[in-house]
Amino acid sequence: MNVENAMSLTDFADKGLFQPAKIAALLQTTSQDVARSVGLGRDAVQRRDRLRSARTQTRLREMAEILNRTAPRFGSALMAYAWYRSEPLPGFSGLTAMQLVQAGRAGEVLEYLDAVDAGVFA
C-alpha cells in the first residue's frame, strides 16, 4: 500500500486475522516493535496459537483502528504511527495513545478522537 493513499483495515490483515508482519511492513518497523506498541510480548506475534488469541487480535485491531482514523489527519500511516507512539494526549496525564492501548484503554483513545472530530479539542 502506498502510504499516501487512504488506508483500510484490510491493509493490516490477512485471512481474517490482523497480521503483525503486515502491519510492520506498512509501518516500516518490526513485528516485535508492533507487539510492544500494543502491550504484547514477542510470543504473541511469533506463536500461531498466540497470534490467533482474542487478546492479541483485539490489541492489533485497536491499534489498526486508531491508525486508520488518524492517518488522514497526518498524511500518512507513518506519521500516524509516530503520533500514536510519541504525542501525549490532552487530558490523559501526559500518556500517549500507545501507552493507553498498552494499558487496555484503547476505547478512551477512540473516544478522544471522536471528541476531536466533533471539535471539542479544536
Find the domain containing 34 and state its range.
Answer: 9-117
**CA torsion through residues 45, 24, 34, 19, sign:** negative
pTM of the model: 0.87
Task: Classify residue 37: in a domain, yes or no.
Answer: yes
Strands 17-18 and 13-14: antiparallel
**Each residue of 66-79: pLDDT tens digit?**
999 999 999 999 99
Report the number of distinct structural domains present in the chain. Answer: 1
Those residues with Cβ within 8 angstroms of residue 12's Cβ, 6 or more apart along the chain or in another chain? 18, 19, 22, 23, 26, 60, 64, 67, 68
Reported confidence tier of residue 6, pLDDT bands at 50, 70, 90 = low
Q: Is the pLDDT score of 9 beyond 50?
A: yes
In a domain, 24, yes or no: yes
Phi, psi (degrees; rounded to nearest 5) at 88: -65, 135
